Structure 1
């Protein structure tokens, strides 16, 4: 367990370092969603098209998020970090999946593991306890760090899902 948490910390630290480097590179070098802007020319690594597909369910103060990261290429990625942000506060205590870490009062990040060319990463499942029992939660899923890869299609890795407290699954 300590090795996995260390790996997550390494991914988080790498993401913070990438943000710092982007800030030094100047405006326009960093695109929303955590990917290097297409054609920015500065610090761009391999080109990859990261996407997330899954579902969100809210029931009795528990939010469940299940997703599969995918990469349409043209290059494979060793790892990436997906970020899940909520409109409601998380409960103080959380049992998070391996490779995931809490990043704030309303935020969790998870490593995807290797993303092969035209392939899928590991399935990520989160069962998040909320501080209160809201009638609805807005869930934003996006790439927080992608190893410096260029991603020309950010639309498929940035999702906004409204989950109502009905137990229904909302797909993205």
Structure 2
């Protein structure tokens, strides 16, 4: 079996395990939420750190969701993602948010990611891969792009 095919099988299994599906697949057509992410990104010496807290600003609870972190640089081969997170490609990591109560927070997510090379900068894209089956009419607060320079400075989103 090819390496890409194995990765696809593993990713599909993880998404099934976490109950994830496409962002537009609705398990309850009347469910509405407003998933948002707030956090920080730091790049220092070829190592990227992402801290974030998922929030639900909306009227309904979300039993679980999946946040995706995409990078403009390749991840190093050896990665130990945080609990509830999985590498899903050369430049992507996905994490479950945990339950997002109505007007409440999910679990803190901290990713310490090694990069294949030491780039001068990395664009970090954060968005919702799966929204727990709820309708989210305000995508502006759950889609972020942060440019992190390899200076050790922290950038907020």
Give the TM bin, normalised by the shorter chain.
0.7 to 0.9
TM-score by length of structure 2 reads 0.86
Distance 2:51 2:27 in 1: 34
Where in structure 1 are there 5+ consecutive unaligned residues?
A: 1-7, 20-33
Aligned position for 2:4: none
Q: Tell me how far 1:44 sits from its aligned partner.
A: 2.9
2:156 is equivalent to residue 151 of structure 1: no
Of 8, 14, 17, the match for 1:9: 14
Q: Tell me how far 1:136 sits from its aligned partner.
A: 0.1
Retained in 2: the 8 A contact 1:11–1:111? Answer: no
Aligned position for 1:86: 71
Equivalences, count:
146
TM-score by length of structure 1 reads 0.79
| Partner SS state of residue 104, structure 1 | coil
2:104 is equivalent to residue 119 of structure 1: yes
Where in structure 2 are there 5+ consecutive unaligned residues?
A: 1-12
Give the number of the structure whose residues are more often helix, by fraction. Answer: 1
